[in-house]
């Protein structure tokens, strides 16, 4: 499958306490890939995007120091699989001319990619099954930037979100509405429910 390069478009609070939606966008396309991540992972990504220097090194910063000490170069983060709503990733590294693939959680792979300033990729299969196309982008989306997770107000889940009991047609209509109002977190959950039924 063809590799598709992704850029971080935004990081927003999710519908459940402690969850965030990382929004990745195609470098040369219109599709977005929303990924639900935890608060610690969101913080690790946001701190690097906003160039905040923590008082002591975070886990990902320690990993960078480790790699630099032992001459390991991180080449890319690759989101290579999606199963039952879970994204699977790997980090491609190089040491002494030899390339290695290391299994990683997607959020960790991306947190390392932003620190090493290396590319983030996925493949066409994942973008076709999980990518979301926005018909018209607005100024708010263009100006979207990562927010520090501790400053984001947490939303509570809405009681009407009972996706397993809904018909496929209702889910598709709900997905369209979520995309129109740019509720990417909700769109990601609906998309995952639709994919589970395929």
Give tens-digit pLDDT for 87-137: 999 999 999 999 999 999 999 999 999 999 999 999 999 999 999 986 544
More confident residue, 71 or 145: 71
Give tens-digit pLDDT for 59-90: 888 999 999 999 999 999 999 999 988 999 99
| Sequence-distant (≥ 6) Cβ neighbours of residue 2 within 8 angstroms | 123, 124
* Residue 159 CB-density burial (10 A; 0-12 exposed, 13-18 middle, 19+ buried): exposed
The domain spans of the chain are: 3-157
The reported pTM is: 0.70
More confident residue, 1 or 72: 72
Report pLDDT for 146.
43
Mean pLDDT, residues 4-22 taken together = 84
Average pLDDT over all residues of the chain: 81
Report pLDDT for 149.
45
Give tens-digit pLDDT for 29-64: 889 999 999 888 888 888 888 777 777 878 888 999
Alpha helices in 33-183 (DSSP H): 39-49, 59-69, 106-116, 124-130, 139-142, 168-180
More confident residue, 197 or 35: 35
Report pLDDT for 76.
97
| Top-level class of domain 3-157 | alpha beta
């Amino acid at each position: 499958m063809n590799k598709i390069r992704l850029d971080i478009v935004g990081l927003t609070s999710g519908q459940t306490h402690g969850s965030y939606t990382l929004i990745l966008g195609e470098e040369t396309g219109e599709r977005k890939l929303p990924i639900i991540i935890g608060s610690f992972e969101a913080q690790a990504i946001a701190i690097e995007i906003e160039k905040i220097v923590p008082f002591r090194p975070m886990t990902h910063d320690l990993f960078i120091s480790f790699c630099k000490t032992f001459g390991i170069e991180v080449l890319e983060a690759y989101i290579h699989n999606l199963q039952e709503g879970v994204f699977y990733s790997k980090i491609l590294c190089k040491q002494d001319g030899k390339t290695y693939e290391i299994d990683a959680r997607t959020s960790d792979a991306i947190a390392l990619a932003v620190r090493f300033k290396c590319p983030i990729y996925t493949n066409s299969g994942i973008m076709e099954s999980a990518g979301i196309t926005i018909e018209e982008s607005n100024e708010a989306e263009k100006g979207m930037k990562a927010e520090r997770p501790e400053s984001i107000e947490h939303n509570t889940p809405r009681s009407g979100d009972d996706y397993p009991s809904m018909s496929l047609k209702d889910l598709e209509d709900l997905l369209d509405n979520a995309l129109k109002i740019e509720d990417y977190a909700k769109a990601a959950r609906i998309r995952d429910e639709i994919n589970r039924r395929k």
